[in-house]
Amino acid sequence: MDNELLVTAQNWTYTGFESSDLLAFIHLGARPPEGEDSSAKLLYLVTVMKSLEEEVFQLEFEHLEEAIDAINTKYNHWDFKNRGETNTGGGCGSCAAH
């Protein structure tokens, strides 16, 4: 499989997979402290959203590598989505005033 079409440790913050109106991606979350002497636990969340408005499904992982393996295994048959690509079709960044 082409590594350019997978979520990796280098691109996980801005890539994912999409199918129709669903988007699967990894983001950060936290579990609250369980007692006075504990601290919040950082989590990597694999989330599926519908139209970027409604959460459909979410998995929690304590390690980034586990989240990457899960999203690539479960959703790699969907279209790869690079949410970090710039839109060159207009907008303020393409204005002649810049």
Question: Per residue in 58-94, pLDDT tens?
Answer: 999 999 999 999 999 999 999 999 988 765 554 444 4
CB of 68 closer than 8 Å to CB of 76: no
pLDDT for 89 equals 52
Question: Given phi > 0 = left and psi -120 to 50 = alpha, else beta, which region is 20?
Answer: left
97 confidence band (pLDDT: 50, 70, 90): very low
Question: Per residue in 27-56, pLDDT tens?
Answer: 999 999 888 888 999 999 999 999 878 999
pLDDT for 1 equals 52
Closest CA to 17 of 58, 55, 61, 47: 47
